[in-house]
Structure 1
């Protein structure tokens, strides 16, 4: 029995060859045509590592953007990650730095093997290889492979075994009651267990104390058998099927109304609309929202008891019409690596100033009184830009609020190097080079009174810094997070619960009304599409069967006519003679062939016309074309 286990996660963009690589590793086989993986497929890969047998579970993640968001659920201490790149594609497709940044942010101690696949067609440039090794210390190896030629596969296996040996060498073998508990969980048909059910199962397997049960829960999660977190919002649920969690995320992110009607703002009541009620009952919604929040797939828009959440992935990539920012007060943050979650977290923090939900994937427009601000990020330059317009005093106050919100956001990225930059003039034509705010402060503290700003000339340090001094924030606009949260009475909680129930019911009714309208439109369109599919099937039946049989029969009739007519002037030609002599002896029965063919063709055409659903070939053609037309027009039947 294998008592030592490890987890190998295989991630990467669509088309990099992850499934082919897993197939080569686990069964030493290559399949040229692989369909794009959907969901998560877990492969068993027992290995002999050192003197011990280790049970390796290889997780092959599909390439949907949804799974790129949720694979982080499964990164634990006993995890080795394989990041698969395509040697034929550039960084804009492979997105290796995005993957490595995410892996580092989730678990900086998680080793990563970068696999450059398809290296038989295009080798990775030495420059990219050196950059990856220098910037990302968690990359323990960078290997080149080809699943088709088997190039580099053995070297990859050896590297994986070496890393797993380091990973499991110091870990003790699982105790016998762990194996019994693991087997009991694997035989479960449920997708998840409540904490109470998990406790009862542990007791039935002889695991009595809370400490022992907690230890087993950690082991099961680390080794990929369950998904469980210790945080107060999540500890009550033990997920037994990983796809149960990832498919819930997918259902939320794929819900069309969330992007089109709600501009990426998810409300608690929406879960009842986008999730299957049988598989995801109402009591699981709190857990799912907490899971989305923990991994920043959804970000709360309220500081306490949030009911609305911003989903960054569903923000529009199109930039709206921007305000005139000429002469704006400019402030910038320069990052060594701009965290992808930085702007969404800021939008959630400063949402009280957001102007009519005017936000998109890389920016947001805010308003306070007569002042407006444009905040946008530039991933290529690794910076965030703040442009504030309006009255001078209001500019400084609004900038102060935004900088304070960003100070709270930046606390989540303690390892990121962040520089604050200012400009010597609001005129973009003469002041193009940003100045490091900290350097100017140090010069001022050292007694300097002026500074020679590029393009501007000598400016007063005191006046320059005064433009960016944070004024005292008005007390009435303190952040909601700083306010005490009153304790609700039982009656108030009941009123709030009833309000949420009414809101949820209203959302459901509105959604059902929209669905009915869409179904009515779909019914009208489907009638036309079904007629087109029927015409398509009839046309191909005539082309494939009826017409060829009629033509064949006519050809035989013509041949016999040529052979039997004595009066033809060219009967003595070789062709006519051959036909006449060859078929003369069989004339008594051969003439039946074309006649039967024509009769069959005619009756087959009449029969299929009157009984279109009884012909299996026609039905297959009809169903195939009908499915294509419905999918093309977005109709699900």
Structure 2
């Protein structure tokens, strides 16, 4: 049995880089010092982190320095109830050697049950894997990798499977589907982590609010071939550790953002002065807030940046709308709010990105809530469970705070799929208004003024069109991801209104029907043609 071992940095700023190595094909040794106790050793924090990132991986608890203190007993059965992945506990002393043989035996027994362990693999695969592990190069080209595999009698069909297997195991880093990363195969992932850690440790980056300048990058990576600078920066972007500014000169390292928020409240409150300003909010209550939340999302949403961001939040802008993201680690809560005249579209867009970020943590437990709309013009602090609203069959739901009924469709309007009917009806009204406005403008500018809210309606029309199109595409992608959706498909586009729709496509609501030729399953959806 051959096992590869990685020792993770315990400092919090390094935690986001652990994603390079935390996989479901790993055995984790959670080591804590008996002299400092389980609380000081952050035992629960690390258990939450491991079970969130790799929920199916076994964990062994290892207590050290028992020669100096062995009275720090933990309730293993209680911990195993909360974390079933814990397979046992070992107590050792590096000074006396006590417990070391038992630890080695337990590691071997537990590792033998990992995925693929005990599987019969082609001898050529094992030789190729060991050959790559033993090479001294830090990186090679994909073509050279193919040549090396050919020397080990790996045919072309098996090469891509073996490469992915080695990537999943953490032996190599290779991203053939990324145009900016496909030209290099990293043979030593720890080497990459070391250079990224230099950036995270940089006092200049921290003191400049997380900005990595080109000059600082050259200083930190002065012993690294300059041709690799771009590749390493792209790797950091790929893992949502950074993003480049509009000019492409500097990079914002999100893990180095200041912990204290800047003055964002005046700008956030000012938008409420807009006519007809409304707000959409959702809270995400988590069982733990692992490293990368919310910084990975801040990096992912950089195109909406207002340059107002900190370690636990950010202010985003899209057209005439503002969004506020806030994370409260002590409450294990993340909140996303959008304000503006038609906030639903921007909210749905950001929420998609946030959900994608949260989904990277396979074991994360999430409870989503939506604040009450208020009663008689007065705000209400009650929060409804989103899952409960989705399942609600009645049009209203009672607010326990006031015992008054609240409209479910109003709570979900515009960004939840269940309100698609109301959105499409509203689109029809707005489309008719847009046509009338266009005709009036042709006649006389003065007559066009009777539509005082024309700009507002056109803005709403644009936002709802974008929303319905994106929601339809999301539904379409979900269907395409299914196994039985990979067969050839037939698409039919039908109008729900006029028969002469080809000449007047703009503004029409159409139905797109997809049929799998090898099954009877069909997907229906609606979209507005703009």
Work out whether the TM-score is over 0.5: yes
Instruction: State the partner residue of 1:209.
Output: 155
Answering whether residue 283 of structure 2 is matched by residue 332 of structure 1, we say yes
Answering whether residue 355 of structure 2 is matched by residue 410 of structure 1, we say yes
Check conservation: 2:258, 2:310, Cα contact below 8 A: yes
CA separation of 1:412/1:319 partners in 2, compared to 1, >3 Å: closer, same or farther? Answer: closer
Structure 1 residue 314 displacement after superposition: 0.8
Instruction: State the partner residue of 1:121.
Output: 69
Check conservation: 1:252, 1:274, Cα contact below 8 A: no
Check conservation: 2:283, 2:334, Cα contact below 8 A: yes
Answering whether residue 308 of structure 2 is matched by residue 364 of structure 1, we say no
Taking the aligned partners of 2:161 and 2:403, their CA distance within structure 1 comes to 65
Instruction: State the partner residue of 2:255.
Output: 313
Structure 1 residue 430 displacement after superposition: 7.7
Taking the aligned partners of 2:351 and 2:120, their CA distance within structure 1 comes to 44
1:263-297 residue CA offsets vs partner (Å, 9 max, x unmatched): 33558x57853553552332x34432343234332
5+ long unaligned stretches in structure 1: 10-58, 483-637
Of 448, 452, 462, 1:475 maps to 462
Of 295, 306, 314, 1:344 maps to 295
TM-score relative to the length of structure 1:
0.53
1:35-85 residue CA offsets vs partner (Å, 9 max, x unmatched): xxxxxxxxxxxxxxxxxxxxxxxx334545565443432345653221212
Taking the aligned partners of 2:337 and 2:253, their CA distance within structure 1 comes to 24
Structure 1 residue 362 displacement after superposition: 1.1
SS in structure 1 of the partner of residue 153 of structure 2 = coil
1:225-280 residue CA offsets vs partner (Å, 9 max, x unmatched): 5444554454532333344312221233234443333x33558x578535535523
Between Structure 1 and Structure 2, the one with more helix by share is 1
Structure 1 residue 422 displacement after superposition: 0.9
Structure 1 residue 162 displacement after superposition: 0.8
1:185-208 residue CA offsets vs partner (Å, 9 max, x unmatched): 6353x32211222333344x4436
Taking the aligned partners of 2:162 and 2:388, their CA distance within structure 1 comes to 53
Answering whether residue 22 of structure 2 is matched by residue 6 of structure 1, we say no
CA separation of 1:89/1:296 partners in 2, compared to 1, >3 Å: closer, same or farther? Answer: farther
1:485-536 residue CA offsets vs partner (Å, 9 max, x unmatched): xxxxxxxxxxxxxxxxxxxxxxxxxxxxxxxxxxxxxxxxxxxxxxxxxxxx
Check conservation: 2:286, 2:366, Cα contact below 8 A: yes
CA separation of 1:214/1:347 partners in 2, compared to 1, >3 Å: closer, same or farther? Answer: closer
CA separation of 1:293/1:207 partners in 2, compared to 1, >3 Å: closer, same or farther? Answer: farther
Structure 1 residue 461 displacement after superposition: 1.4
CA separation of 1:300/1:104 partners in 2, compared to 1, >3 Å: closer, same or farther? Answer: farther
Structure 1 residue 307 displacement after superposition: 8.2
CA separation of 1:323/1:313 partners in 2, compared to 1, >3 Å: closer, same or farther? Answer: same
Structure 1 residue 358 displacement after superposition: 1.4
SS in structure 1 of the partner of residue 369 of structure 2 = strand
CA separation of 1:219/1:333 partners in 2, compared to 1, >3 Å: closer, same or farther? Answer: closer
CA separation of 1:92/1:258 partners in 2, compared to 1, >3 Å: closer, same or farther? Answer: farther
CA separation of 1:430/1:91 partners in 2, compared to 1, >3 Å: closer, same or farther? Answer: farther
Tell which structure's C-alpha radius of gyration is larger. Answer: 1
Instruction: State the partner residue of 2:46.
Output: 99
Instruction: State the partner residue of 1:384.
Output: 334
Taking the aligned partners of 1:403 and 1:72, their CA distance within structure 2 comes to 27
Taking the aligned partners of 1:98 and 1:294, their CA distance within structure 2 comes to 26
CA separation of 1:184/1:365 partners in 2, compared to 1, >3 Å: closer, same or farther? Answer: closer
Instruction: State the partner residue of 2:491.
Output: none
CA separation of 1:84/1:344 partners in 2, compared to 1, >3 Å: closer, same or farther? Answer: same
Of 237, 242, 248, 1:293 maps to 237
Taking the aligned partners of 1:187 and 1:388, their CA distance within structure 2 comes to 52
Instruction: State the partner residue of 1:159.
Output: 106
State which drifts further: 331-340 or 247-256.
Answer: 331-340
TM-score relative to the length of structure 2:
0.62
Instruction: State the partner residue of 2:515.
Output: none
SS in structure 1 of the partner of residue 30 of structure 2 = strand
Structure 1 residue 364 displacement after superposition: 1.8
5+ long unaligned stretches in structure 2: 273-277, 416-422, 424-459, 471-530
1:75-116 residue CA offsets vs partner (Å, 9 max, x unmatched): 456532212123444666434444344434544433221223
Check conservation: 1:336, 1:417, Cα contact below 8 A: yes
CA RMSD for the aligned pairs? 4.5
Check conservation: 1:346, 1:405, Cα contact below 8 A: no
SS in structure 2 of the partner of residue 451 of structure 1 = strand
Answering whether residue 400 of structure 2 is matched by residue 446 of structure 1, we say no
Check conservation: 2:240, 2:299, Cα contact below 8 A: no
Structure 1 residue 359 displacement after superposition: 1.0
CA separation of 1:131/1:345 partners in 2, compared to 1, >3 Å: closer, same or farther? Answer: farther
Instruction: State the partner residue of 1:421.
Output: 370
Instruction: State the partner residue of 1:31.
Output: none
